[in-house]
Amino acid sequence: MEIWWFSRVVAHHPYAILAAVFVFSTACLIVPLATNKFPDFSDPQL
pLDDT band at 41 (very low <50, low <70, confident <90, very high): confident
Q: CB-based contacts of 22: which residues, under 8 Å, 6+ apart? A: none
For the chain, give every domain's residue range. Answer: 9-33
Task: Say yes or no to pLDDT of 1 above 70.
Answer: no
Mean pLDDT of 32-43: 86
> Which phi and psi (to 5°) does residue 31 adopt?
-60, -50
pLDDT of the residue at 37: 85
- Mean pLDDT, the chain, rounded, equals 89
Which tops the pLDDT comparison, 19 or 4? 19
Cα–Cα distance list, 17 to 3, 7, 12 (Å): 18, 11, 10
- List pLDDT tens digits, range 16-33: 999 999 999 999 999 988
Helix-helix angle 5-12:14-35, to 10 degrees? 90
